[in-house]
Chain A
């Protein structure tokens, strides 16, 4: 039996329903990341938000980017963040104050930012294509043509940047041994 064109009873198309579901999950999970008290759950909700965004990338036809999102964000960065949480949290942390004293000005600034976005969106004519359903799959040819054409220098600079970040990360996170620079400061604190 073929599926009907629209969702039964509600009358919205499947693509719209999928977009609203994924977008709702992304927004709810992001709110939990920002507002939740337990930081381990914040980290897990961050994974959920990034996964929902990967789904939206698939809807946009950018499957290669969804793959990169899952591999790099969910697979690497989230795991890194969870490890850092496990290494730095004490049991008392959850009981303490979660927000800075400047939380209310921060909320005002974030709302102001949202209003600026809304005004920009409302007043700008983007001359965008309108697709009947979701956008057609992009393929990788046009992306590769840009990445290895006009953006080749940026691509190479990013690879050098990642190498520098790896070396810097090892240097910063390594425990200084006796005789090394930084070792004396460490002893003073203890």
Chain B
């Protein structure tokens, strides 16, 4: 009888920890690509919680995985456009650090 792997809560705890780490990285990092990586971490945490809820709660059977597949597809689109924007800004400003993108402030 497993104490951890057969219960819902450990998966949600893991998802919460990963989401908090990603949120910190998004708020604190200076590099735009690091911020995008943190967003990927947060999306993965949400995916994990969706799948765990879909597996452990009978009323949600199948929905969790379907949701997670849709989220993965949207995350791929987000990463494509986000990195393309970073490349376009880098070509003009020659830096990937977001706190040096301050043209609009001046």
Contact = CB atoms under 8 A, between A and B. Distances in A.
Interface of A: 12-13, 15-16, 18-20, 23, 26-27, 30-31, 33-34, 39, 42-43, 46, 49-50, 53, 56-57, 59-62, 64-65, 68-69, 72-73, 76-77, 80-81, 84-85, 87-89, 93, 96-100, 102-103, 105-107, 109-111, 113-114, 117-118, 121, 126-135, 138, 141-143, 145-147, 151, 154-155, 158-159, 161-162, 164-166, 168-173, 175, 185-186, 189
Given A34-B38, A168-B84, A106 B28 contact: yes
Most buried by B among A43, A102, A146, A162: A146
B27 A134 contact: no
| Interface of A: prevailing SS | helix
Interface residues of B, number: 78
A155 to B, nearest CB: 7
Given A114-B20, A130-B6, A158-B74, A65 B69 contact: yes
A185 to B, nearest CB: 7
A33 B41 contact: yes
A121 B77 contact: no
Contact of A26 (B10, B14, B37, B55): B14
Contacts of B36: 81
A106 B81 CA distance: 25
Contacts of A161: 73-74, 77
B104 interface: no
A148 B37 CA distance: 31
B92 interface: yes
Given A73-B44, A161-B77, A80 B83 contact: yes
Nearest to A18: B5
Nearest to B41: A30
Given A114-B20, A143-B65, A80 B2 contact: no
B2 A106 contact: no
B58 to A, nearest CB: 6
